[in-house]
Structure 1
Amino acid sequence: MLEGLPPNGASHVMHVDAPEHEARAIAEYLGESFDPAEVAAAAFEVENRAEGAGWAVEVYFGDPPDEDMVRELIALVSPAAAAAATFSLLDKKDWVAASLEGLAPVAIGRFVVHGSHDRGRLAPSRIGIEIEAALAFGTGHHGTTKGCLAAIDAFGKQRRPGRTLDVGTGTGVLAMAAARLFHAPVLASDIDKVAVTTAQANAIANRAAPHIRFLHAPGLGAGAFRREGPYDLILANILLAPLKGIARPLSRLLAPGGTVVLSGLLPSHANAALAAYRAQGLRLKRRRTIEGWTTLELTADRGRNITPAARR
């Protein structure tokens, strides 16, 4: 999930004030709804706003946006915010400096996601994952990724996976977390070539690259997924529609007794995702809701048969 600084040449901005949980949800949802090369979304805390708001969302566009469509997307999270959204021309601004303001490290379990400006402040007992400020939104600073990091941390307290799969890796933060914690093979894929290139660079910078293989692939049809499986831990931090679409092939890649972590879900979408995976024989292990986003942890019984296609 790549959201953050305005894209080069951005000329328009949408702004709306909202409570924190709505602001984060709106930024995450809009960031996933547009091409990250053309549009960027950010939620941030502000001062002197109306009581009950306290946070704002800004979405930056390279071309004049379809205002009605943007409002319809916002309304999926908050009809009131959709009505209050404003659109204007973008003022010139030092975006790198602005992105650093208030961008504090995020601690989840044993992990700390941070920018380079906080590199020297980490406790020795923590696993630091450094993401540049321009890429920080949509990684550890959103409820979807926080839920996944918490699930990885909890899984690691019970067992060490032989293999991990990260579907829709984005900046690679989840793949890096698994690699740094488990020191075991991780296959990380994304439909976006730019995301794969970015994730590879991040893995090198975070000393996680030796354990991670990055793959540019749409869906789960590539032979590499089957050859390197089955997987004890599968991570999929995407959206409801693609999660439902890959339920069958993803479940076939899971090892008996393994865990699937699904995120990128609004609470109202969680049951639909759960139903799709229950139909594949998985059962709910834990549900987490953080900052207005739900993460599901599902498991397969140890006696569950692996299909021939998923065997190594």
Structure 2
Amino acid sequence: MTQTRYFARAGKTDALALFDRLDARFGEEGVPVAIVEIDEASGEQEVSAYFEDDGAFGREAIEAAFAPVTADREDLPEIDWMQSVLADLKPVRAGRFLVHGAHDRDKVSAGDIAIEIEAGQAFGTGHHGTTEGCLTMIGEIARRRLPARVLDLGTGSAVLAIGVAKLVRVPVLATDIDPVAVRVAKANVRANGVAGLVDCVTAGGFHASAFSQARPFDLIVANILAGPLMKLAPQMARHLAPGGDVVLSGILTRQRRAVLAAYSAQGLYHRKTLTRGEWVTLHLSR
């Protein structure tokens, strides 16, 4: 089914107001609403709402909900854009984890925690430095303290959720704002034999019932972008159990101090930074 995205750009204040307005209007109908920072210097934000069938609401009604901001519209067909690329990718090791495609099953050795990810429509094959950094950090944390409840926020293809579930065998809530990503995540979770542990849910924000039902979390992993991570710091802290750990990535090295400051203000303390090229992965705890 073709998905339709309505989106608009505005300054931070207007964008936040638009996000709240769209979420109040469509959130309970299961429509993911997202806000991302486009320009860090100017503070310009982009607000999007994703509809499986905009005919259910009507184009005029959707555009009216964006008013006075003018909404643009684009169709997002389901495509396997990674199919030809993934065949050329080699297995990636991150500590005990080995992320690989079906064509590289013979590369898995005894003692490896294998995560098999095939081409799909969601980001996260393990080949990006942020994903590798998160998996490495998760492995280090698990050696010190085993979490009982885990959240993978912005799960993408569910690489991190699958890794946690295979490593510590505990329930993991995996959420994403994109329903296409969630469908891919569910398929990957089933293929890796952890469907009984990982619950994949479409959720546009911490107000979704899935979070309140599963919290507090002993470990929260979020590999998204620096802007959203800083905005989410207060809610992350509220959903974190006493003594809990947070792993954050999708952060450029020049954004590290700003992200750390946002979480320090919430009473979370920096434990470690992993650097992979121009990207960093942060470990914080309460």
TM-score (norm 1): 0.64
Q: Where does 1:91-102 land on structure 2 (aligned, <5 Å)?
A: 96-101=83-88
Evaluate the alpha carbon distance shift between residue 281 and residue 104 of structure 1 in structure 2; reply closer, same or farther with a 3 A threshold.
Answer: same
Q: Mind listing any 5+ residue stretches in structure 2 that lack a counterpart?
A: 1-37, 39-45, 51-80
The runs of 5 or more residues in structure 1 that have no matched partner are 1-28, 38-93, 301-312
* Distance across 1 between alignment mates of 2:170 and 2:214: 12
Q: Distance in 1 between matches of 2:84 and 2:169?
A: 35
Could you say if the C-alpha distance between residues 95 and 223 of structure 1 is closer, same or farther in structure 2, counting changes exceeding 3 Å? closer
Identity, % of aligned pairs? 49
Pair 1:207-2:193 in alignment: yes
Indicate conservation of the 8 Å contact 2:153/2:175, yes or no: yes
- The AA in structure 2 aligned to 1:100 is A
Structure 2 residue aligned with 1:240? 226
1:183–1:211 CA contact under 8 A, matched in 2: yes
Aligned residue number for residue 119 of structure 1: 105
* Rounded Cα–Cα distance in structure 1 between residues aligned with 2:99 and 2:169: 18
- Cα RMSD (Å) of the superposition? 2.1
Q: Deviations over 1:226-268 (max 9, x none)?
A: 2211111100000011101111011111111110001000001
Secondary structure at 1:209 match in 2: coil
Find runs of 4+ consecutive structure 1 residues off by over 2 angstroms: 94-99, 133-139
Native 8 Å contact 1:99 1:134 kept in 2: no
CA distance in 2, matches of 1:216, 1:199: 10
The CA deviation at 1:142 is 0.6
Alignment partner of 1:147 is 2:110 = no
Secondary structure of the structure 1 residue equivalent to 2:144: coil
The one-letter amino acid of 1:254's match is L
- Give, in whole Å, the separation in 2 of the partners of 1:248 and 1:98: 38
The letter of the residue matching 1:283 is Y
* Counterpart contact for 1:129–1:176, Cα < 8 Å: yes
Deviation at 1:119, TM superposition (A): 1.0
Q: Secondary structure in 2 aligned to 1:255?
A: strand
How much has 1:99 moved relative to structure 2?
3.8
Q: Does 1:108 align with 2:94?
A: yes
Aligned to 2:144: 158
CA distance in 1, matches of 2:182, 2:82: 24
Secondary structure of the equivalent of 1:139?
A: coil
Maintained 8 Å contact 1:219/1:246: no
Which of the numbers 259, 274, 284 marks the counterpart of 2:260? 274
Q: Matched residues in 2 for 1:213 and 1:98: separation?
A: 28
Q: Does the 8 Å CA contact 2:120/2:184 hold for their aligned counterparts? A: no
- Structure 1 residues 276-291: aligned runs within 5 Å: 276-291=262-277
